[in-house]
């Protein structure tokens, strides 16, 4: 359970960006340590966020951005009617199944980023009112967007976990490593 990134160990910009993204993914994953699906679905803070909902949201978000960059349809189509389902487990989804899905998405992200000829290659932003019309962004932008998205939600996840049982992701890792 590494909690830091040695970007220079990866030897290149792609490796560094992928390592920082993985570090932020780990921040979210660690908040789920030792919880049941019911605990992960609880909403102990003032917000409507749960840890399992955040998990599902970041997995779908990463997959959605990866699909945009590949210029293919995303696995999951969200609309105004089903947008809330991206923040809660539905049907037979479990924390374990969403973690497995996210692992697949993460592998796909790494394979794709390592395969593009250049991080300067671009793809169009979606036709949504919060994006500029007819704008294209680079693969580097994609990676920075994903890192920012994961970091934002890792912070949310820490607050939800601390509201749930008073523990932070760092404390959970420290305990697992025998540090305290």
The pLDDT averaged over each successive group of 10 residues in the chain (180 residues) is: 49 92 94 93 88 96 96 82 84 96 97 97 88 90 97 94 84 73
DSSP 126: P
The backbone region for 63, taken as left when phi is positive above 0, alpha when psi lies in -120 to 50, beta otherwise, is alpha
Closest alpha carbon to 58 in 20, 119, 102, 2: 102
Distance (Å, whole) CA 156 – CA 165: 15
Among 51, 49, 53, smallest CA distance to 27 is for 51
Tokens of 114: 């390592």
What integer pLDDT is reported at residue 179 of this predicted model?
A: 74
7-176 carries CATH number 1.20.120.450? yes
Bridge partners, residue 137, by sequence? 123
Match 């994961």 to its residue by tokens. 150
Q: What is the pTM of this model?
A: 0.88
Q: How far apart are CA 40 and CA 53, in angstroms?
A: 8
State residue 6's pLDDT score: 55
Question: Residues with Cβ < 8 Å from 35, sequence gap 6 or more?
Answer: 51, 95, 164
Beta bridge partners of 171: none
């Amino acid at each position: 359970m590494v909690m830091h990134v040695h970007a220079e160990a990866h030897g290149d910009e792609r490796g560094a960006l992928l390592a920082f993204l993985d570090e932020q993914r780990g921040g979210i994953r660690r908040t789920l340590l030792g919880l049941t699906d019911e605990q992960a679905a609880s909403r102990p803070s003032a917000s409507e966020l749960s840890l399992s909902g955040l998990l599902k949201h970041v997995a779908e978000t990463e997959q959605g951005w990866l699909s945009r960059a590949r210029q293919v349809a995303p696995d999951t189509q969200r609309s105004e009617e089903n947008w809330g389902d991206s923040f809660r487990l539905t049907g037979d989804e479990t924390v374990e199944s969403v973690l497995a899905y996210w692992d697949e998405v993460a592998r796909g992200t790494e394979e794709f980023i390592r395969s593009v000829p250049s991080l300067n290659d671009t793809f169009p932003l979606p036709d949504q009112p919060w994006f500029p019309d007819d704008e294209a962004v680079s693969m580097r932008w994609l990676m920075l967007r994903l890192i920012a998205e994961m970091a934002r939600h890792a912070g949310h996840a820490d607050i939800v976990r601390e509201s749930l049982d008073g523990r932070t992701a760092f404390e959970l890792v420290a305990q697992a490593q025998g540090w305290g």
